[in-house]
Structure 1
Amino acid sequence: MKNARDNQLSDRRTASADAKSALLKAYRAAQATAAPARAERQAERALVAAAREERRAERERVKTEEQARIAAEEAALQAEAQAAALAETHARESAEKARVARVIEDEAERKAARDLRYANRKARRA
Structure 2
Amino acid sequence: MIMYREKDIFERRNAANEAKKALLDRFKARPAEDDPAVLARKAERQAIIEAREKREAEREKLRQERLAREAVERAEREAAEEAARLAAEEAAQAEARAREAEENERIARVLADEAERKAKRDARYAARKARSGRH
Question: Taking structure 2 as the reference length, what is the TM-score of the superposition?
Answer: 0.74
2:75 counterpart of 1:68: yes
Deviations 1:66-104 (A, max 9, x none): 011011101111111121111112111111111111111
The residue number in structure 2 matching 1:4 is none
Deviation string, structure 1 residues 27-66 (Cα, Å, up to 9, x no partner): 8655433111111111111111111011001100100000
Report the counterpart of residue 41 of structure 1 in structure 2.
48
Paired-residue identity, %: 39
- Please tell me the residue identity of whatever aligns with 2:54: L
Residue equivalent to 1:121: 128
Equivalences for 1:75-94 in 2 at 5 Å?
A: 75-94=82-101
List gaps (5 residues or longer) in structure 2.
Answer: 1-13
Of Structure 1 and Structure 2, which has the larger fraction of its residues in helix? 1
Partner AA of 1:50 in structure 2: A
The residue type equivalent to 2:101 in the other structure is: S
Rounded Cα–Cα distance in structure 2 between residues aligned with 1:56 and 1:73 = 25
Is residue 111 from structure 1 mapped to residue 118 from structure 2 by the alignment? yes
Q: Say which structure, 1 or 2, has more relative contact order (CA 8 Å, 6+ apart).
A: 2
Give the residue type in structure 2 aligned to 1:45. R
Point out where structure 1 has 5 or more consecutive residues left out of the alignment. 1-8
Count of aligned positions = 115
Once residues 119 and 13 of structure 1 are traced to their aligned partners in structure 2, the CA distance between those partners, rounded to angstroms, is 139
